[in-house]
Amino acid sequence: MLITVMTYPHPSDKYTELVCTAGITEAREWVRLYPVDYRYRPRGQQFRKYQWIELDLAQSGAGNDQRVESREPDLKSIRVLGPPLTTERDWQDRCEIVDAMEHRTVKQLKALYDTDRISLGIVRPTRVLDLEIRKAEADWKPAWQGVLQQLNLFGPPPKQLRKLPYTFHYHFECEDSDKPHVAMIEDWELGALFLKEEDRLGSKEAAAESVRKKFLEELCAPSRDTRFFMGTRFPYNTWLVIGVFWPPKSRQWSLL
């Protein structure tokens, strides 16, 4: 499968730490890998976005996750197959995969979840109106704080996992929207950018504005053929933006 989605990590009482990971198979089908303790994998198994991997999968995800794309990975079987696909040639290598997948509106995705438990898809917004910044809790919720404390006492050497003090939400429209959609972004790249900018600027507020500038003004610029990778948060039917695909507009891609 080609990895296209990796969300910001969060603690897990059962799996130490989890990263929502999803991608597209050679057969052009969506697959969600759960659970994946990405940062605790050996270095040779730490794949990157737009990198092909090979691994063994069980039929369904953990617990009572009935979403059709969810699969339980045999983490020890992960094998990385070459470097990530590049953005050279107007992102052609990546576009050949993503453009072959069906694109839907948010309304269509919600209807498919209700009927078939389809929970991953691609949305091409007709207009991205805003990126809203909301204050979040400063610390992980108490249960997750307990997980991190237990790691310090009994588990593997813990890796620092900083809590983001904000959440970020796209406001956008689809071709069949009767009102704008609002969806939170959980892309790992957003979290990494925020932390990098906070360290560089010494200010949470300034870092949040840097994220807004990047994810709104650059990734959603008029010159970009912006798509959102969207998925549901288990166990709730809440649709999130779990990745952004933003190749440059060109005659070749705009005609697809």
Q: Calculate mean pLDDT across residues 33-38.
A: 92
* The predicted structure's pLDDT at residue 154: 57
pLDDT band at 186 (very low <50, low <70, confident <90, very high): very high
Give the pLDDT confidence of 119-160 residue by residue, as tens digits: 999 999 999 999 999 999 988 777 666 666 665 555 566 678
Which pLDDT belongs to residue 256?
A: 45
Pairing verdict, β 30-33 and 16-18: unpaired
Q: What is the pLDDT of residue 10?
A: 86
Give residue 204's pLDDT: 97
What is the model's pLDDT at position 153?
Answer: 54
At residue 66, the pLDDT reads 85
Give residue 12's pLDDT: 80
Q: Given this model, what pLDDT does residue 251 score?
A: 46
Q: What ranges in the chain are assigned the alpha helix state H? A: 88-98, 106-116, 142-154, 188-201, 204-212, 251-254
Q: What is the mean pLDDT of residues 165-186?
A: 97
Is residue 118 a contact partner of residue 69, using CB atoms and an 8 Å limit?
A: yes
Question: How much of the chain exceeds pLDDT 90, in percent?
Answer: 77
Residue 87 pLDDT class (50, 70, 90 cuts): very high
Which of 11-15, 126-130, 183-187, 229-233 is predicted least confidently?
A: 11-15
Q: Is the pLDDT of residue 15 over 90?
A: no
The residue-averaged pLDDT of 210-214 equals: 98
State the Cα–Cα distance between residues 122 and 78, nearest whole angstrom.
25
Contact in structure between 240 and 185 (CB atoms under 8 Å): yes
Does the pLDDT of residue 96 top 70, yes or no? yes
Query: Which of residues 48 and 250 earns the better pLDDT score?
Result: 48
Provide the residue type at 254 as one letter. S
The arrangement of strands across the sheet holding 127-135 comes to 127-135, 166-173, 181-184
Reference 14, options 139, 146, 142, 147; nearest CA is 147
Average pLDDT, the chain: 91
Q: What is the pLDDT of residue 59?
A: 65
**Does residue 191 carry a pLDDT above 50?**
yes
CA 32 from chain center: how many Å? Answer: 11
Judge whether residue 58 has pLDDT over 90: no
Shortest CA distance to 133 belongs to which of 207, 212, 220, 58? 212
Q: What's the confidence (pLDDT) of residue 81?
A: 97
- Give pLDDT, residue 127: 97
* Contact indicator for 93, 85 with CB cutoff of 8 Å: yes
Contact (Cβ atoms closer than 8 angstroms) between residue 82 and residue 47: no
pLDDT at 254: 46
